[in-house]
Amino acid sequence: MGPLLTALIGPLGSAVGTIIDRVIPDKNAAEKAKQELQTELLRSAVQGELAQLEINKIEAANPSAFVSGWRPFIGWVCASAMAFQYIVAPMGVWTASFFMDNVPVPPSLDDVLMELLFGMLGLGTMRTVEKIKGVARQ
């Protein structure tokens, strides 16, 4: 069975390959069936991505900030979380330590904050590329 089938449908890929091998005894026909399944899965995945891209275009074109403004909002939330985690909280604890003996430690956002940051920076990079190519919306 091909690695594409396993990658597309995960752990079920090897089971599907085994079932195809048992149902279709001819090796050439079984390989052809697996290739057709891989092609159809890939076609479905691409169609799903294209549909999502179309929805994203429609959302971005909407003049309402509640519809088209969610991406900038997520960016500001990420920036605020970074500022809190690495500037506000440490400075607040440091300042409070001058006035109190036992300063409570604020909650940490560090567990998933870096994942969110890297994801946002990746999207920001794509936006920068759009601006450089001149296809960005004004």
| Shared-domain flag, residues 86 and 129 | yes
| Shared-domain flag, residues 13 and 53 | yes
Domain with 126, as residue range(s), is: 69-138
| Shared-domain flag, residues 73 and 15 | no
| pLDDT value for 9 | 59
| Shared-domain flag, residues 76 and 36 | no
Domain count, the chain: 2
Which of 44, 63, 82 is the C-terminal boundary of a domain?
63
Question: Which has the closest alpha carbon to 103: 119, 89, 117, 84?
Answer: 89
> Rounded to 5 degrees, what are φ and ψ at 63?
-75, -15
Positions in the chain whose pLDDT score sits under 70: 1-16, 64-71, 120-129, 136-138
In the block, tokens 């050439």 appear at 28
Q: Rounded to a whole number, what is the largest CA-CA distance in the chain?
A: 81
| Shared-domain flag, residues 136 and 98 | yes
Element (H, E) at 25: none
Q: Which residues of 108-135 are buried (b: 16+ CB within 10 A; e: fewer)?
A: eeeeebeeeeeebeeeeeeeeeeeeeee
% of residues, the chain, pLDDT over 90:
5
| Shared-domain flag, residues 40 and 24 | yes
| pLDDT value for 1 | 46
| Shared-domain flag, residues 43 and 57 | yes
- Please provide the DSSP assignment of 28-79 as one string: HHHHHHHHHHHHHHHHHHHHHHHHHHHHHHHHHH-S-HHHHTHHHHHHHHHH
| Shared-domain flag, residues 37 and 75 | no
Alpha carbons 123 and 72: distance in angstroms, whole number: 11
| pLDDT value for 85 | 87
| pLDDT value for 125 | 67
| Shared-domain flag, residues 3 and 50 | yes
| Shared-domain flag, residues 15 and 55 | yes
